[in-house]
A and B are shown apart, each in its own frame.
Chain A
Amino acid sequence: MDLKKTMNGYFERTQLPAEISPEKMTPVIIKKDVKSESAEKQPVPAKAEQPAPAKAEQPAPTKVEQPAPAKAEQSAPAKVEQPAPPKTEQPTPPKAEQPTPPAESKPVPEIGASAFIKIVRHHRITGREFLNLLGNSKISNKAYQEIENSKGLTVKRLIEILEESSLTREDYEKLIIAVQQTAAARDKAKADQSEPVQPQAPQAEEKPAEKAEPAAEEHPAKAKEEQTKELPKTEKAPVNIKPEDEPSDEPDDEDEEDEEEEKKPLSTKKLFIIIAVAAIVLIALSFVIRYVATGSFLPGENGGASSQNLDESGLFAAMNGLPVSTQPAFTRNAAYTAGTPYKESDVTDRVMKGDRFVFCDKDTVYILRCSDGVMQQLDSRSYGEDVKLLGLLDTEKGVAVISETLKEGIANASEGDDSPAAEIAASRYETVVELLDGELPENRQNISLYKFSGRCAGAWTESGKAIFALWEGLADGANGSDGNSFMPYVTAPDNNTSYCSAENVFIGSTPANAGFVTVFSLDVQSGSVSCATAAGSEGQLVYGQGTDIFVFQGNTLLRYDVSGNVTLKDSCTVTGIAAGFSAVRKDEDGIKVTALDNGSAVLNVLDNDLNSVMTVNGIGGGELAATCFNGGETYIVDASGKAYGIDAEGKTMEESTVEVTAGSTAAYNDKMNIRISPSGDAGQRTGLVLSAVSPTGEVLSTLEINSGTVADNAKDEYISSPAETDSTAIGIDAEKGVIAVPVTYFDGVSQVERFFICNISGEGELTYKGSIIEYDRNSSKLFALIQDDIITAVMSGGRIISADPADCSVIAYVNIHRSEEIYSYQA
């Protein structure tokens, strides 16, 4: 087939607007030019001076350029749909047909099946309600029965059935009005219902609306406001329009409600009673249905969260126009510690692998060789301004350097004098993983380069795999008809790009945000990558434990299994929604999830199959900051630092069994931790206190660090330690009972960087041993390592010193330097 010829054939049949006919266009151009500017610009002879013909006839250019069809478009909303594709194609819901706010009863133009379905979903019409509405329409029996009897009917198919049915635009208009009335009546009923019937376990569905629910609006601004008034928790009620979702003999409440809407004369009292009774019946029914479907009255039991089964264009349509979450995916706020600290992600800033030591500071990766305690710098790689260095991951194969960059739109117009580069394609963040040579990380010729779409929220190593949880908003400039412009992807070292399949995307039935959290699993030996994605929600907490990666979004907890290819293992809904203080923890007792519910924290305890075991409501209040776990205990910390403890039985603890602290605590061993904190009163720093503390917070011993003790000549108010905020800066050898603590201060003459070396007894007694000291350096990174009986003091400002912990004598030192040459990813 000659494509060009075929296209031209079609093009030639295109109707040309009258405005561009030569007769109309010529006067527009010629008159204007002759009149204003052509004379001086054009080196044209005498004719340029000819009087412009028929000036009076020249229409105002702006008017001339407005073709008739434009008028309708002018008044249309800004967000617009892709045009309806041929019938055989996946329907892309038209933007213009997106649900109008409920207050408006006027149907939008171009009403059709997809618009109707959009509005149905917007109003969370249940399957039963939907069937009732259809049953009262002029839909053919055949189409109705097909919808009614289809199990697992997809939205796409549903729209196709409706399109093929005999429904007209007028029918859709009537249906939409009925939908709006049904939703309004239902909302009113729920709003009026103060305390619904509730079984002993907390059931999110029955609770009144709460303000913080982030889930479930298909459309931004107005819809979001609306949501605060609506029933955030009704998202738990089936929103899908599958008819089988409510197979009961539910009464046709909506019919009655519709009538009530129309016949206002009905007394308010009567109306209220009818609505309240209907609501209670509905709620009771929802319990019955859940019981029938899942065998349990409790949410999350056995049942996974509902997900839409959408293809790429469907995903795009579901999220396009929704706001991109301002809060990228995140890990637990680890600023607070209860008992023994633990890490939320395996990303670090230093890795000792064999005799190679790799660390990163700001924009530079340093690679050194360590031989008998003597360091030798092999390479330094300074990444440019357009790359953000995130850290390192110690994989089985080698050190992985993780960085982030913004991949500009792939189609850039060249820069002209007055026109800046135009980005046509989507710009997307990429997390770049450079898997260095396992033995010779300095070898730039053997780097496996992977580029994952999105920004890194957390990374873990597990069974020979590197796992990455990445977040990205729906790409700006994405095109719904081109999945490659927005679907998560990975570009392998051979430069082949693979995209996450739409089948592996979980998206709730009412997405609230346009974005993805993707779990990528990279087999570091084979180089194979698999992925699965959660889409459409705000506030996505990620947590990794072994082969389980959890993504907590909205009120849905998703668990991915990364033992093989990444797969969605199971999911459940929990009480409350993911919030900044939320955390997930899996241990031998099961899984704990903290969430926000009615302005306070709620603890969901699940068993290992995600069945709900226990829910504890009403923990704390106000501004909540963090969750800490300690064994079976859970602590919710508010912004003032106050901790609310819940024991393993779900009871409120009168007193914490462990100390909940802000700041940095380094895990020493099971019996004690090391902490360094400022000393002084009333905000006046007078030095530091190094403490050995038991997990319960009992201080076993302390060592003052100030000018009167071990920091000679120090100006006490200037004494600080990077370990105050980053406990990993402390070098620990628990076996030998040695710690090295980096401290900086000003001694009146010089800036001092000093490592205090202490012995620590089995009982926690701290004894000052000696120090490593450097003057007039200004390191942005200062940390100690103790390995193979050698203390390595790293001062990124220029020197690494190795010392013998026995007598603190210097074994060797090496000056390190940052390369001025900008490093580029090695292809």
Chain B
Amino acid sequence: MSEILTLAAGGDTAAFTQLYTRSYKKIYFVAYYSLATSKEAVEVMTASLKSAYEEIGGCKSEEDFDLLWLKKTCEQIIARYREYRKTPPRQEPDPDFIKASMNRLTDAERLAVTIWAEFDLEPKDIASVTGLKLEVVSKKLDSAREKLAQKL
């Protein structure tokens, strides 16, 4: 376990801040562009961070923690998607261009493509962190990129 992880696990705020700063923007972008609102993104991000922090002991490096947090975030996002099936989400008013473009994708497409863009992961790694099947990730990634390429 790296020193930063050890310190962070022990409650060292400076270490935790350093750890958090590494990837919080990326995680937020994944959550925000996968979900409907900023509020949801913050909720998901906070809950997943808490959950990841509880399991920080299993991480050997900062990169491990990044992926763990991302995985927890994906779990939270998928849980939200389930809720969307029962109650469609309320989107934020006046979304900017990129948010509006992302909103035109399907749930799985948004999730896959934001992870791909932010974390630069291969489909198999995206499948690993999201729990989606590899073929689904590949398919959704392709379709999302195709749709976005027409817009952006």
Q: Which residues of A are at the interface with B, using a C-beta cutoff of 8 A?
A: 1, 3-4, 6-8, 10-11, 13-14, 16-17, 19-20, 22-23, 25-30, 32-34, 37-38, 41-48, 50, 52-53, 61, 64-67, 69-70, 73, 76-86, 89, 95-96, 109-110, 320-321, 410-414, 416, 419, 422-425, 476-477, 479, 481-482, 485
Q: Once the chains are docked, how many angstroms separate the CA of A124 from the CA of B38?
A: 37
> Which residues of A lie under 8 Å from residue B105 when comparing CB positions?
481-482
A6 with B85: CB separation less than 8 A: no
User: What string of 1s and 0s marks CB contacts (under 8 Å) between B4-17 and chain A?
Assistant: 00110111110011
B90 with A50: CB separation less than 8 A: no
> Which residues of B lie under 8 Å from residue A30 when comparing CB positions?
11-13, 16
- Contacts A22-B20, A86-B97: A27 and B13 contacting too (C-beta < 8 A)? yes
Min C-beta distance of A370 to chain B, whole Å: 44
Count residues on chain B whose CB falls below 8 Å from chain A CBs.
Answer: 80
Nearest to A85 among chain B residues (CB) is B100
Nearest to B98 among chain A residues (CB) is A10
- The answer to whether the Cβ of B67 comes within 8 Å of any Cβ in the partner chain is no
B29 with A416: CB separation less than 8 A: no
Nearest to B53 among chain A residues (CB) is A29
> Which residues of A lie under 8 Å from residue B111 when comparing CB positions?
424
Q: Once the chains are docked, how many angstroms separate the CA of A746 from the CA of B109?
A: 62
Pick from B10, B101, B117: contact of A45, CB below 8 A: B10
Pick from A34, A48, A482: contact of B106, CB below 8 A: A482
A65 with B37: CB separation less than 8 A: no
- Contacts A84-B100, A411-B136, A481-B103: A4 and B117 contacting too (C-beta < 8 A)? yes
- Contacts A3-B145, A11-B29, A425-B108: A413 and B130 contacting too (C-beta < 8 A)? yes
- The answer to whether the Cβ of B75 comes within 8 Å of any Cβ in the partner chain is yes
Min C-beta distance of B73 to chain A, whole Å: 12
Nearest to B132 among chain A residues (CB) is A411
Pick from A32, A41, A412: contact of B57, CB below 8 A: A41
Nearest to B27 among chain A residues (CB) is A20
Min C-beta distance of A163 to chain B, whole Å: 14
Pick from A95, A423, A481: contact of B85, CB below 8 A: A423
> Which residues of A lie under 8 Å from residue B98 when comparing CB positions?
7, 10-11, 13-14
B11 with A50: CB separation less than 8 A: yes
Most chain A C-beta atoms within 10 Å of own C-beta, residue among B13, B16, B82, B130: B13
- Contacts A14-B32, A411-B132: A67 and B38 contacting too (C-beta < 8 A)? yes
- Contacts A34-B11, A411-B132, A422-B81: A69 and B106 contacting too (C-beta < 8 A)? no
Q: Beyond A26-B16, A82-B103, A411-B140: 12 further Cβ-contacts under 8 Å?
A: A19-B46, A20-B46, A28-B46, A52-B11, A67-B38, A69-B39, A70-B37, A70-B38, A79-B88, A424-B132, A476-B85, A482-B109
Q: Once the chains are docked, how many angstroms separate the CA of A73 from the CA of B38?
A: 11
Q: Once the chains are docked, how many angstroms separate the CA of A463 from the CA of B150?
A: 43
Nearest to B21 among chain A residues (CB) is A22
A25 with B9: CB separation less than 8 A: no
A422 with B82: CB separation less than 8 A: yes
- Return 13 A-B CB contacts under 8 Å, by A number: A14-B29, A14-B32, A17-B41, A33-B11, A42-B57, A65-B46, A67-B42, A76-B90, A81-B90, A89-B104, A95-B90, A413-B131, A424-B107
Nearest to A86 among chain B residues (CB) is B100
Pick from A16, A67, A413, A416: contact of B132, CB below 8 A: A413
A73 with B39: CB separation less than 8 A: yes
Most chain B C-beta atoms within 10 Å of own C-beta, residue among A3, A6, A22, A26: A26
- The answer to whether the Cβ of B78 comes within 8 Å of any Cβ in the partner chain is yes
Min C-beta distance of B8 to chain A, whole Å: 8
User: What string of 1s and 0s marks CB contacts (under 8 Å) between B127-142 and chain A?
Assistant: 0001111001001100
A80 with B148: CB separation less than 8 A: no
- Contacts A4-B116, A16-B28, A22-B20: A50 and B10 contacting too (C-beta < 8 A)? yes
Min C-beta distance of B16 to chain A, whole Å: 5
Min C-beta distance of A340 to chain B, whole Å: 48
Most chain A C-beta atoms within 10 Å of own C-beta, residue among B17, B87, B90: B90
- The answer to whether the Cβ of B118 comes within 8 Å of any Cβ in the partner chain is yes
A7 with B24: CB separation less than 8 A: no
A412 with B20: CB separation less than 8 A: no
Q: Once the chains are docked, how many angstroms separate the CA of A120 from the CA of B11?
A: 59
A83 with B57: CB separation less than 8 A: no
Q: Which residues of B are at the interface with A, using a C-beta cutoff of 8 A?
A: 6-7, 9-13, 16-17, 20-21, 24-25, 28-29, 32-33, 36-39, 41-43, 45-46, 49-50, 53-54, 56-57, 75, 78-79, 81-82, 84-85, 87-101, 103-109, 111, 113-114, 116-118, 120, 130-133, 136, 139-140, 145, 148-149, 151-152
A4 with B120: CB separation less than 8 A: yes
Nearest to B15 among chain A residues (CB) is A47
A29 with B16: CB separation less than 8 A: yes
Closest 7 CB pairs of A and B: A47-B10, A80-B90, A70-B39, A10-B98, A44-B10, A413-B131, A83-B91
> Which residues of B lie under 8 Å from residue A79 when comparing CB positions?
87-88
Q: Once the chains are docked, how many angstroms separate the CA of A83 from the CA of B111?
A: 17
Pick from B25, B43, B106: contact of A481, CB below 8 A: B106
Pick from B38, B57, B107, B131: contact of A43, CB below 8 A: B57
> Which residues of B lie under 8 Å from residue A412 when comparing CB positions?
132-133, 136
B131 with A414: CB separation less than 8 A: yes
B39 with A53: CB separation less than 8 A: no
B100 with A83: CB separation less than 8 A: yes
Min C-beta distance of A345 to chain B, whole Å: 33
B39 with A424: CB separation less than 8 A: no
- Contacts A22-B24, A25-B20: A85 and B103 contacting too (C-beta < 8 A)? yes
> Which residues of B lie under 8 Å from residue A320 when comparing CB positions?
88
Pick from B33, B39, B88, B106: contact of A321, CB below 8 A: B88
A48 with B11: CB separation less than 8 A: yes
B106 with A16: CB separation less than 8 A: no
- Contacts A7-B98, A17-B42, A33-B53: A26 and B20 contacting too (C-beta < 8 A)? yes
Pick from A73, A410, A424: contact of B78, CB below 8 A: A424
> Which residues of A lie under 8 Å from residue B43 when comparing CB positions?
65
> Which residues of A lie under 8 Å from residue B104 when comparing CB positions?
82, 85, 89, 481
- Contacts A1-B149, A47-B11, A65-B46: A410 and B57 contacting too (C-beta < 8 A)? no
- Contacts A422-B79, A481-B106: A46 and B10 contacting too (C-beta < 8 A)? yes
B93 with A3: CB separation less than 8 A: no
A83 with B11: CB separation less than 8 A: no
Most chain B C-beta atoms within 10 Å of own C-beta, residue among A43, A412, A425: A425
Min C-beta distance of B66 to chain A, whole Å: 15
Q: Once the chains are docked, how many angstroms separate the CA of A153 from the CA of B71?
A: 49
A3 with B100: CB separation less than 8 A: no
> Which residues of A lie under 8 Å from residue B103 when comparing CB positions?
82-83, 85, 481
> Which residues of B lie under 8 Å from residue A11 when comparing CB positions?
29, 33, 98, 117-118
B13 with A10: CB separation less than 8 A: no
> Which residues of B lie under 8 Å from residue A19 when comparing CB positions?
42, 46
Min C-beta distance of B96 to chain A, whole Å: 8
> Which residues of A lie under 8 Å from residue B13 when comparing CB positions?
26-27, 30, 53
Q: Once the chains are docked, how many angstroms separate the CA of A598 from the CA of B75?
A: 53
Min C-beta distance of B130 to chain A, whole Å: 7
